[in-house]
Amino acid sequence: MADKKDYYETLNLNQQASEAEIKKAYKRLAMKHHPDRNNGDSKSTETFKEVKKAYDILSDPQKKSIYDQYGHAGIDQSGGGGGGGGGDFGDFGDIFGDIFGGGRSNQRSNVYRGADLRYNMQITLEKAANGTETKIKIPVMSSCKPCNGSGAKKGTQPSSCETCQGHGQVRMQQGFFSVQQTCPNCEGTGKTIKDHCSDCRGSGRTEISKTLSVKIPSGVDEGDRIRLSGEGEAGLNGGPTGDLYVVIGLKPHAIFERDGANLHCEMPISFSTAALGGHLEVPTLDGNAKIKIPAETQTGATFRLKGKGVKPVRENNYGDLHCHVAIETPVKLTEEQKRLLSELEALNQADSSKHSPRHKTWGDKVKDFFD
């Protein structure tokens, strides 16, 4: 059996060819070698088969990827090799259906699914952690009740389009081409309306305000989506209704910042508490908790409260609360406070390596830098 010809070579392309270039090459070669234009010439017929096969593979992203990696062997194993036989070439409308917008096998349905809708909801951290139920009001395109979605005046019905006989498409003959186009009379619906419904003006849909109850599960996070099936816009010509997606956003919190399951907060403590130690009450999402501050605590120290974070929607365990120490410098000092602090500073300077080891280390590094 002879070696199969490279598909890119068949279309006179290289492997870097874009989707548009592949379509353009196929169109040009198919027009040139189509049997209808060559009186059934066997060589042209065979070339046309090769061109059609090459386009079938290279126009399909998945098959193209397999072919680019493994060549014909990959396509044959994946079931995309085909037999290459058959003499039914159809007309030009069939051949260029995906290029010009519709061969017989690609004729589009007149029934369309309604659009999905998006609603952005901002909630507090507490509601996100514990879950809640709330009501929202949204404008939505709904099926027109007076005409039951038909678009026709009450008591009448749409009739089949005489131009396209209800197909929604017409075939136009242009020289060698037979191309399908959307029917200009019914705009692709396949139906015409003599007397339009006064409420929807023939569209079959009207805008209404709808109030919905949304249940927010505990643990939702920024960007999570809640799908309300069938609460989107009504479909066209009896098509199914779309869905509503509620997208969660978290309002900024006065104390906490969320990072997945964990919470973070800044914990200011006084200079004296940091030096001498003590106890501090910190807030959590389920009440206050006490933290023991050891003596000589430095700025940047972090205390972890296990299980005081959030339990995400698809997890079983709670995260932690991380409290980050920020030592607060006293302000608006009295003369007595200034005097006492000056005395303390003098005592510290007398043996700075003992009382301020980090400052001593930093000073040595600065000295080494300039030496």
Provide the CATH number for the domain around residue 63: 1.10.287.110
C-alpha to C-alpha distance for 104 and 295, rounded to whole angstroms: 83
Q: What is the pLDDT at residue 352? A: 66
Q: Are residues 123 and 235 in the same domain?
A: yes
Q: For residue 96, tell me if it sits in a domain.
A: no
Q: 348: domain CATH number? A: 2.60.260.20
Q: What is the pLDDT at residue 303? A: 96
Q: Are residues 35 and 123 in the same domain?
A: no
Q: For residue 122, tell me if it sits in a domain.
A: yes
Q: 150: domain CATH number? A: 2.10.230.10
What is the pTM (predicted TM-score) of this model? Answer: 0.57
Bridge partners of 343? none
- Domain-terminating residue out of 250, 283, 302: 250
Q: For residue 71, tell me if it sits in a domain.
A: yes
Q: What is the pLDDT at residue 247? A: 94
Print the domain residue range for 294.
257-370
Q: Are residues 265 and 302 in the same domain?
A: yes
Q: For residue 62, tell me if it sits in a domain.
A: yes
Q: Are residues 140 and 229 in the same domain?
A: yes
Q: Are residues 43 and 131 in the same domain?
A: no
Q: For residue 79, tell me if it sits in a domain.
A: yes
**β-strands 278-284, 262-270 pairing:** unpaired
Q: For residue 180, tell me if it sits in a domain.
A: yes
Q: Are residues 121 and 244 in the same domain?
A: yes
C-alpha to C-alpha distance for 23 and 44, rounded to whole angstroms: 19
Q: Are residues 145 and 78 in the same domain?
A: no
Q: Are residues 238 and 334 in the same domain?
A: no
Q: What is the pLDDT at residue 120? A: 94
- Rounded to 5 degrees, φ, ψ at 284 are -130, 175
Helices (H), 277-356: 335-350, 352-355
Q: What is the pLDDT at residue 369? A: 61
- Domain-terminating residue out of 44, 72, 89: 89
Query: How many domains does the structure of the chain reveal?
Result: 3
Q: Please say whether the dihedral angle defined by the alpha carbons of residues 120, 124, 127 and 132, taken in this order, is positive or negative.
A: negative
Q: Are residues 270 and 318 in the same domain?
A: yes
- Rounded to 5 degrees, φ, ψ at 75 are -70, -40
CB-based contacts of 342, cutoff 8 Å, min separation 6: none
Which parts of the chain register pLDDT below 70? 1-3, 40, 70, 74, 76-110, 173-178, 352-353, 355-371
Q: Helices 19-33 and 42-58 sit at what angle, rounded to 10 degrees?
A: 160
Q: Are residues 126 and 241 in the same domain?
A: yes
How does pLDDT run across 233-258, given as a tens digit for each residue?
888 777 888 899 999 999 999 999 99
**β-strands 191-192, 159-160 pairing:** antiparallel
Q: What is the pLDDT at residue 121? A: 94
Q: Are residues 299 and 283 in the same domain?
A: yes
